[in-house]
Amino acid sequence: MLDRTEYLILKDKIYNTNITDILRVCRNITIPMNIASSAIILHTKYIYISGEQPDGLIYTPAFVMLACKLNDYHIKLGKIVDESQKYYLGKQDFEVQKILIEEIQEVELNLCVLFQFDFNIPEFYIYFYKRYFHMENKIYNTALVLLNDSFYLPLNIFYTRKIILKAVIILAEFIHEKIESLESSICGEDKEDLKYIIDEIVTLYVQ
């Protein structure tokens, strides 16, 4: 079972930062959720390593651009910066854009150094589809929503992709009454961690 002290400390640090910003910027320029999730993981990892709160205007496009590169998704930085300006400043400014692009490119390099060029970010969505595509449609869709929402928590920093996906599947099956109780489905060596992850995801909906 994982010592949850570090998890709770990081959870408290990211709670007041707006991960929604990353999601909205990505959505507004039709960047897929798997790329957005990578950007959120980079955001969370940045706070975990540096202990600092990133400036959204600069760091949101930096995280998104880096996530696009890591996932071989081609998009111009200028497009991300344009949307970031509209989102954070309420307007676009060509002169400001040029300055921002230079700053963001520098931040990208600094992130690479901070992460020591270790970008081993788990791909949740392709694995999720390959592993669970055969599931009943309503359970699959609910599990996908739960997975999307789980990125509001720093679970991915401390737990494996496999156990997080297992947790969202069990929770989705419980929601649709495919299992009688959560307790009966939570078993194995990772039982305590699995229960904790499920409880954490549930807190997103009851607060």
Per-residue pLDDT of the chain (207 residues; tens, 9 = 90+): 667 899 999 999 886 678 999 999 999 999 999 999 999 999 999 999 999 999 999 999 999 999 999 999 999 999 999 999 999 999 888 888 899 999 999 999 999 999 988 888 888 888 888 888 888 999 999 999 999 999 999 999 999 999 999 999 999 999 998 887 777 777 777 889 999 999 999 999 986
Q: How far apart are CA 194 and CA 114, in angstroms?
A: 30
Domains observed in the chain: 5-114 (1.10.472.10), 124-206 (no CATH)
Report pLDDT for 95.
85
Report pLDDT for 76.
95
Signed CA dihedral, 100, 102, 108, 114: sign only: negative
pTM confidence score: 0.90
Cβ neighbors of 201 (< 8 A, separation 6 or more) are: 146, 149, 150, 153, 167, 168, 171
Helix (H, G, I), strand (E, B) or coil at 175: helix
What is the biggest distance separating any 2 CA atoms in the chain, rounded to whole angstroms?
A: 60
